[in-house]
Structure 1
Amino acid sequence: MNDELIKKRIEIIAARIQEINGEVPEIIIGEPASLEQITQTEEKLGVKLPDSFKTVLTEFSGHFSFRWFLPDNLEQPDEFREIFSGTPNWSLDLLPQFEEGRKGWIDAVFPNPEDSYDVIWHNKLAFCEVGNGDYLAFDLEDGTTDAPIVYLSHDDGEGHGYKIANHFIELLENWSRIAFVGCEDWQWLPFTTSPTSRIDPDGEAANRFREWLGLGI
């Protein structure tokens, strides 16, 4: 992972949002996490964190948050009319809290692993709370040392179960190319073509989005 490139893209995105009179209320790039902190969190969770996630935690940041919002009066192309913000975030310290929330949804609403909708909530590790009850999560189904990222919707969202990236580093590299839009599924869905396509930062939609917003990333 190229940490400096990701930081540069964050600077470019923030500067452009401010240039068009949008808001950038928060950019937090915390200190990298230690291996001891990761081990302690793994013990609390009872699972090993995916390799690429640990790489980002130890080499880039253990706590990251970047929030931006487009101005209300900005005229948007129809295909991007649902995009209004970017809110990527993760925190090693908050993983147990997010997992408690995911498991709470399973216990209360999605308990049946034989149900095609419910099962998507099972065998996951939530790392990003979307804010509306949904989560971004690692899919631990195959038991490998790394894991793809999927979307968990609690209310029949179109993106439920969509594979967003093959691993965490890919997520950051591709998501940053579309200005970290989201995290709600309706914001990043324009940059996918199927439930397994992942976010495509080089597709026609992504190129049109960057051209419209004036982003050279």
Structure 2
Amino acid sequence: MDYQLIRDRIDKLVARVNEIGGEVQEVIIEEPASLEQILQIEEQLGMKLPHSFKMVLTEFSSNFSLRWFLPEELEPPEEFKFIYCGMPHWGLELLPQFEEDRLGWIETVFPNPSDDYDAVWHHKLAFCEAGNGDYLAFDMAKGDDAPIVYLSHDDGEGHGYVMANNFLELIENWSKIAFVGNIDDDWLPFTTSPESGIIGDGEVAKRFRSWMGLNS
């Protein structure tokens, strides 16, 4: 994984958002985690973290957060009408709280693993809040390098969609579309089916980068 390329995309995005009068509230890229820190969290969670997620945590950053917003007066094209910000984040120390939250949703709202909608919430590991009660999560039933799926609490269109086949693929493709907001309305335009994942090199992504002025 070319982490410098990810940093370069972030730098270009931050510069562009500022240039067009938007707001960048936060850019956090903390030092990588140690294997000991990861083992402590795995013990606390009672499960092993997905392979590529551990790679990113130990090679790139243990705690990452980026918050940017387009200027209110900027009107996007119709196909990007829901996109106004980006708020990707992950943090090793945040995982226990996110997992507690996910289990809370299962206990109170989605308890039935035999129900198709409820089942999406089961056997997952949440790592990113969407900001509206939804989560990005690893599908822990799919092997040691789990795909990333979207968990919606209120019938969101993206519920159960695969966002990427693993964490490295997620940050590669998500960074190509400016880490657009975590809510499914924001990234669904860059998918073609519930299994396609975010397509960072597709025609829609190219149009988005052109509109955002991120091609140069």
TM-score category of the 2 structures, normalised to the smaller one: over 0.9
- Structure 1 SS opposite 2:197: coil
Amino acid across the alignment from 1:173: E
Q: Distance in 2 between matches of 1:141 and 1:13?
A: 35
> Does 2:6 align with 1:6?
yes
Q: CA deviation at 1:60?
A: 0.3
Paired residue for 2:174?
Answer: 175
Using the aligned pairs only, state the percent identity. 67
Q: What is the alpha-carbon distance in structure 2 between the residues aligned to residue 82 and residue 66 of structure 1?
A: 18
Counterparts of 2:119 and 2:75, CA distance in 1: 40
Query: Are residue 24 (structure 1) and residue 35 (structure 2) matched?
Result: no
Residue 131 of structure 1 corresponds to which residue in structure 2? 131
Deviations 1:152-205 (A, max 9, x none): 000000000000000000000000000000100000000001100100011111
What is the alpha-carbon distance in structure 2 between the residues aligned to residue 29 and residue 77 of structure 1? 31
1:102 aligns with 2:102: yes
Work out the CA distance in 2 between the residues paired with 1:160 and 1:190.
Answer: 14
Q: Cα offset for 1:67? A: 0.5
Q: Deviations over 1:3-30 (max 9, x none)?
A: 1110000000010011000000100000
1:164 is paired with a residue of what secondary structure? strand
Q: Which residue of 2 aligns with 1:58?
A: 58
Deviations 1:101-124 (A, max 9, x none): 000000000000000000000000
Whether 1:189 aligns to 2:191 is: no
User: Which whole-Å CA distance do the structure 2 matches of 1:43 and 1:14 have between them?
Assistant: 37
SS in 1 for 2:120: helix
Equivalent-residue separation in structure 2 for 1:45 and 1:157 (angstroms): 27
Counterpart residue type for residue 113 of structure 2: P
Q: Distance in 1 between matches of 2:68 and 2:30?
A: 18
2:118 aligned with 1:112, yes or no?
no
Give the alignment of 1:193-212 within 5 angstroms: 193-212=192-211
Q: If the length of structure 1 is used for normalisation, what is the TM-score?
A: 0.98
Aligned to 1:161: 160
C-alpha distance in 2, partners of 1:137/1:75?
31
SS at match of 1:146: coil
- 3-state SS, counterpart of residue 121 of structure 1: coil
Structure 1 runs of 4+ with >2 Å offset: none
**Alignment match, 2:151:** 152
Question: Number of paired residues?
Answer: 216
Gaps of 5+ in 1: none
Q: CA deviation at 1:216?
A: 2.1
Counterpart Cα distance in 2 of 1:212 and 1:129: 27
List per-residue Cα deviations over 1:71-125 (Å, max 9, x = no partner): 0000210110100100010000010000000000000000000000000000000
For residues 30-109 of structure 1, the aligned pairs below 5 Å read: 30-109=30-109
C-alpha deviation, 1:141, in angstroms:
1.2
TM-score (norm 2): 0.99
Tell me the distance in 2 between the aligned counterparts of 1:47 and 1:205.
37
Unaligned runs of 5+ residues in structure 2 are none
RMSD of aligned residue pairs (Cα, Å): 0.7
